[in-house]
Amino acid sequence: MYKQYFKRPMDFVLSLMAIIVLSPILIIVGVLVRVKLGSPVLFKQKRPGLNEKIFTMYKFRTMTDEKDENGELLPDSVRLTKFGMMLRSTSLDELPELFNILKGDMSIVGPRPLAAIYLPYYNESERHRHDVRPGLTGLAQVNGRNALNWPDRFTLDIRYVYSVSLLLDTKIILKTVGKVLGGKDIALRGTSQIIDFHKFRMSELNKKIEIQSKDGKTSIRSIRNSDAATLMEMNNDTQIAKFVIGTPKKVTLEEQRLWMDSIKNEKSTIRFMVDYKEKPVGTIIISNISENNLSANMNIKLLETARGKGIGTESIRLALKYCFEEMNLWCITAHVLSYNKNSLALFKKTGFTNEGVLRSRVIKDGNRYDLVSFSILKSDYEKGMES
């Protein structure tokens, strides 16, 4: 009853009272931000609210707009000033969110509104954090705040969603006051080891992956250190090199291992090893994964001994299953040299649509070829699964 009939009116009354009482502080902080950091005074960002409806959240600015020689913003750690750090550590930068509460975008207590870019990365359980309005403070904020890891934060968020009550909200508000005044459990982006959630989820997905075909013969999995010899063989394979843009440099086993170490922290690429009857025979690479997790590019390589056995078809289907069902991607593309007849047929067979020539006159071994583009949408993949 409290959640349905009393929580929103209480939010309205308390936020209005807070704005009136704290108006001198709001004005003083606004003036200081204008003097020390310049205009605009407010930082505005789109955030998902109740039922994932997007709203504009207001905060006081805490960073400068300093850019490098290419016009790109400098890292947060450089742009975050001592004044900005003070605003964040005291939570004064959050005060404009009182207006979001007044408007009905937010509540005083609820899961914190996170970046809209995180939405495609949530699992079904985590999505329930949007069953209530996001809050100025929440259960996670009084039990570790930003010092918590992502799984623990979401566990507390979901626990709150299923146990909203006047008593719980009152406890959280009182604990929040104590936390802020005591400066406890504060971790600031740009100054600590906080990892953006989409990067955290990608690293988790990349840690250990193994998906098998129904007959158990073909599987895709995360690359292991023991795959170095197979990867070297593939890199040095003259047959594979025929279908790769450019000329791959031959590598030694030691060079291959050094390369494998260098890619362990990739953020926008997932590399699968293709196994057939438990022996590595190829790779599938999902690269250029967009920041909003909507699209990516697929590339497949198989050793000559693995071709013509249906391994390529089955491994692509397994990779699509992972991309669309686990990563929740929206679109996968693939680019194939026009004379690579086997790959052209392979992507067509696995449900991709031929989008035509992406780029003409690609030079390979002194000759010019077309680069053909393929794509498959999640909706088309789902229709294929149903049929």
Q: 273-291: per-residue pLDDT in tens?
A: 999 998 999 999 999 887 6
Q: Of 132, 167, 194, which marks where a domain is finished?
A: 194
pTM as predicted: 0.62
Regarding whether 186 and 219 lie in a shared domain, the answer is no
pLDDT tens for each residue of 83-96: 998 998 888 999 99
List phi, psi (to 5°) of 196.
Answer: -55, 140
What number of CA atoms fall less than 13 Å from residue 82's CA on the CB side? 0
Q: What is the pLDDT of residue 191?
A: 47
- Phi and psi torsions of 244, nearest 5°: -110, 135
Q: Are residues 171 and 126 in the same domain?
A: yes
More confident residue, 266 or 155: 155
Does a structural domain hold residue 294? yes
Tell whether 255 and 361 lie within a shared domain: yes
Give 47's strand partners.
55
Q: Does 123 map to a domain?
A: yes
Q: Establish if 63 belongs to a structural domain.
A: yes
CATH code of the domain covering residue 251 = 3.40.630.30
**CA 156, CA 111: separation in Å to the nearest integer?**
8
User: Would you state the structure tokens that stand for residue 59, as one six-digit string?
Assistant: 């905060």
Tell which wins on pLDDT, 291 or 28. 28
187 with 209, same domain: the answer is: no
Looking at the structure, do residues 165 and 255 belong to the same domain, yes or no?
no
Of 165, 194, 223, which marks where a domain is finished?
194
296 close to 323: Cβ distance less than 8 angstroms: yes
What does each C-alpha distance from 272 to 10, 36, 258, 259 come to in angstroms?
52, 49, 18, 15
Specify if 188 maps to a domain.
yes
pLDDT digit string, tens, across residues 178-213 = 887 776 655 555 545 567 887 787 777 666 678 888
Domain check: are 15 and 37 in the same one?
yes
User: Which helix or strand (DSSP H or E) is residue 19 part of?
Assistant: helix 7-21
Asked whether residue 302 is assigned to any structural domain, the reply reads: yes
> Do 174 and 73 sit in the same domain of this protein?
yes
Q: Looking at the domain assignment, is residue 330 inside a domain?
A: yes
* Whether residue 131 is found in the same domain as residue 275: no
Are both 65 and 169 inside the same structural domain?
A: yes
Confidence band (pLDDT; 50, 70, 90) for 28? very high
- Given 144, 166, 194, the domain boundary residue is 194
Residue 267 and residue 182 share a domain: no
pLDDT number for residue 183 = 64
Phi then psi for residue 340, to 5 deg, are: -85, 75
d(C-alpha 57, C-alpha 385), whole Å: 40
What residue numbers bound the domain in which 290 lies? 205-386
Question: What total number of domains does the chain contain?
Answer: 2
Q: Which of 71-75, 180-184, 239-243, 325-329 has the highest mean pLDDT?
A: 325-329
Is 199 within the bounds of a domain?
no
Residues 231 and 187 grouped into a single domain: no
Whole-number average pLDDT of the chain: 87
- With respect to residue 56, please indicate whether it lies within any of the assigned structural domains: yes
pLDDT in tens, 98-151: 999 999 999 999 999 999 988 888 888 899 999 999 999 999 989 887 678 898
Here the contacts of 342-351 (C-beta below 8 Å, separation 24 or greater) are 342/307, 342/312, 343/243, 343/300, 344/372, 346/300, 346/312, 346/313, 346/316, 347/316, 347/374, 348/374, 349/313, 350/313, 350/316, 350/317, 350/320, 350/376, 351/320, 351/376, 351/380, 351/381, 351/384
Q: Which residues of 107-127 are buried (b: 16+ CB within 10 A; e: fewer)?
A: bbbbbbbbeebbbbbbeeebe
Are residues 22 and 63 both part of a single domain?
A: yes
pLDDT at 89: 84
What are the tokens at 6?
A: 């009393």
Look up residue 236 and give its two tokens.
């040095």
